[in-house]
Structure 1
């Protein structure tokens, strides 16, 4: 038996294809949460996802719950409408007092974290003990705040959503002529109209990040933010009894907490560093 020569003639060779990526990509190159802040994510021996400000802006992200939708390994942990953002990573619920960070420092995650003054959200999956000591094993969420810009920055955002929510935000940044003092100010206001009947509310937020470059070897940074939010919370439905059936007549938009005398859940948070 003779085998036919199936090799393609040289003149039928496919053209060379070169694949390259733009340096203007919105994907992050490094992350501080993995302990290798100067190492690229490709070379970091950990599973890390970084959600950048540009990515959040493209999708009109207003909360961490919206932001983590970029990563399938992060799940909501009873993020009821009107409450704080609580998460689980790889099925492990994060500890509210140990697994959440802001610029690498521990924060108490019992209040909604504003996203207007966040440069990116870093998600470390696993290795929580290596990074944070005593913590739940799922991972670590690190909120990285915006810093003063070397060039003047002036942006304003106005938004009206389909259910009537009104949102406005201002982002200001810059530096003094001598380069010593830098500032970054974020202000936001929101009139909330949820998809749940009766779950309305409002939110006000202001933050400031300031740098003082006294010398090439001396840098002082000061951050301050304040937020007040008030909204009628939405309790979850629970299946009881051996049949485990959803009661008839309940709509997805129904508010169980809309009772006479029901008060809004409100939170006021002030942080400085």
Structure 2
């Protein structure tokens, strides 16, 4: 049986990159550059540095792991990813990659698993438990995101930080509206649990109940949601898009239409979120 999260993102990239997020679109016109910009936005918000022990929940094909290692020089990386094909691909990439002259690669331990399952977090932590948990453009796919908050709080060091990019319901969204029924249909098509779509107020409460404080939410919808759709329409009709497998074209086409609709109708917001464990 094929995986929903597979290696299809590779076809969207250039120069041997394999990014798979929605991107952060300022002046970027190329997908890989926009994806890297979103990863840097999250990395900066997480305050990654050479002392960081990072748990990456949902590392995709591994480009962000290379970024955490090479750009921020993090001390250690642990990772969980709910895709067997991507996990094996990412492991191979890290093993083959060269961090550069005079640089020691951050030790990494990666495994296939569900970030809401305690068994997936059962690594040996030789340098101590993580002080940073990150989830780049994937938390909305987690089955039961509140379990992810609880596990993050359990495994983080004291004063550790969790940082994610994620969707939430727009402030004025009406659960009884036609738009909400359409949203539920689109979420099912996109394999996103409907229970993960909550308002900002409820989102904060869920993080607080898991034990986080100093919660910060930055709305970056304008730089994410319309940008991906605009880029996709141009790419779809070009040589790269024409050569894609029909299944991938359908998947990313649905994603682009979903984002355009949710942005235009003010149904969802895309945010950068962080919280600290006391």
Q: Same fold (TM over 0.5)?
A: no
Higher relative contact order (CA 8 A, sep 6+): 2
- Quickly name the TM-score band, shorter chain normalised: under 0.3
| Structure with max Cα Rg | 1
Q: Which has the higher strand share?
A: 1
